[in-house]
């Protein structure tokens, strides 16, 4: 998982440098930040620490952390950019 997180983050960083589209770069930055935060947790703690855990009566939402939120928001933004398209800014 560490190698996968580092590898994908490196590929996204290269993509940002080669194709600097503002909206896509923001999505990639969120993905990179979340992935590298999870990598840091794995290296320092041995596992990703999920510390946000919510309940509503008997219903339990899966535990997550801010890095997970960053990855989800980055992926959603990337899907929106892919669907609606983006033109390069001068």
Q: Which residues are catalytic?
A: 50, 68
> Token pair of 72, please?
């989800």
CA nearest to 36, candidates 60, 13, 19 = 13
């Amino acid at each position: 998982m560490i190698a996968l997180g580092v590898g994908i983050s490196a590929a996204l960083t290269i993509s940002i440098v080669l194709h600097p589209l503002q909206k896509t770069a923001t999505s990639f930055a969120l993905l990179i930040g979340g992935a590298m935060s999870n990598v840091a947790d794995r290296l320092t703690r041995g596992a990703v620490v999920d510390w946000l855990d919510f309940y509503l009566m008997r219903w339990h939402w899966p535990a997550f952390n801010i890095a997970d939120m960053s990855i989800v928001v980055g992926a959603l933004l990337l899907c929106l950019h892919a669907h609606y398209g983006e033109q390069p800014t001068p």
